[in-house]
Amino acid sequence: MTFRILIFVLVGAFIYPLTRCEKYPEDKGSAFQLFQHWKREHNKVYRNHVIESGKFKVFQENLKLINDLNVKFQGKTTFGLNHLADMSPREFSSTVLMPKRRAPVFEKERYVRSSLSGALPDSFDWTNQSKVTAVKDQGAAGSCWAFSAIGNIEGQWAMMGKPLTNFSVEQIVDCDGMEDVPKGEADCGVFGGWPFLAYQYVMKAGGLETWEDYWYCSGLGGAPGTCEVCPAPGYNTTLCGPPIPYCNMSQSCVTKLDVNKFHPGLKVASWKAIDQNETSIAEQLIKLGPLSVALNAELLQFYHHGIFDPPTFVCDPKNLDHAVLLVGYGSEKSIFGTKDYWKIKNSWGPKWGEKGYFRILRGQGKCGINTAVTSAVLAPN
């Protein structure tokens, strides 16, 4: 006899399953009661009934989407409700993800040469070695690239034997106007960017403040502590498009940045890229520390658990729209066989996915996860 544990939530006179393996109600009455519970759980408050009515309609459509995804993935990857459930896939793509782009190709000398001299361990994880800070939430802003770059720099700092430190993501979002015109790329604040350009900004700026001194506010969407995002100095309107039309200069980089608060000793000297061979990536992950990576994340909005393994036609590896942090790898045996995976730190909060992390199939370049792997190189001190 087989038993399985289910977690239920009592809503009014009904019991609704909220586990990854159950089907969500799609009829309006049941969905509305679930929506009320979901609002309380995620502290959702809307300005008026018109907005709330629209959000409920999106929520109801997302219930069907989640159910459909769970059927299509057959339990190999599971999907469920989370704090993003009142965002349509289109809104999610336009506000949380970045505009889709191809991975840049770097100069040959930029790539790390493989130095593999023996077999790699079967699994590896930096999260249990004090090299990875807590999961953060970027909110409703395309600032993932800054979280990815800072996550890499935090890991590099810890790899030097320094205390694990939360560095400022907001400094990158506010102040980084770096561009690579020949490649047609630029850092565009809440509209997206590239970690390799963020490293170059830190090199040019001379350092970073800590999260506590220059805290994150650009993706909070009107919540306490939010800020009206100003374009960074050097913001390229040709490559980035027009900036947000409102700006509070008292909250701009020019006003907020204090070089006297730069963390002592932290300086980026250079940066490097890792080629697309996933064995090389695993080798450099162990050797260098957590690595910045990018992927097509269009289907990850409601990811809950498991090894993400979508068919290529729904997750084009040439359409990158999200930057994250590679922290480990391993293999998992299940009724579906043994699958190798990458362990990834996301920036959508600790309630998303597997406590803020997700796993994606390793070895097949899924969703482009192997196409834009980079790391900062810190100056010794």
Parallel/antiparallel/unpaired status of strands 357-361 and 337-345: antiparallel
The position carrying tokens 């260098």 is 288
> How is 114-140 classified by DSSP, letter by letter?
P---SPPPS-EEGGGTT-SPPP-B--S
- Choose, from 152, 322, 367, 370, the residue flagged as catalytic: 322
Chain-centroid distance, C-alpha 90: 17
- Choose, from 253, 346, 367, 370, the residue flagged as catalytic: 346
For residue 8, which phi and psi values (nearest 5 degrees)? Answer: -120, 150
Q: Which helix (H) or strand (E) holds 278?
A: helix 278-288
What's the CA gap between 270 and 260, in Å, rounded? 22
- Choose, from 144, 188, 230, 253, the residue flagged as catalytic: 144
With b for 16 or more beta-carbon neighbours within 10 A and e for fewer, the 285-323 pattern comes to beebbbbbbbbbbbbbbbbbbbbbbbeeeebebebbbbb
* Residue 322: active-site member: yes
- Look up residue 221 and give its amino acid: G
What's the CA gap between 364 and 369, in Å, rounded? 9
Rg (CA), the chain: 21
* Residue 42: active-site member: no
Catalytic residues: 144, 322, 346
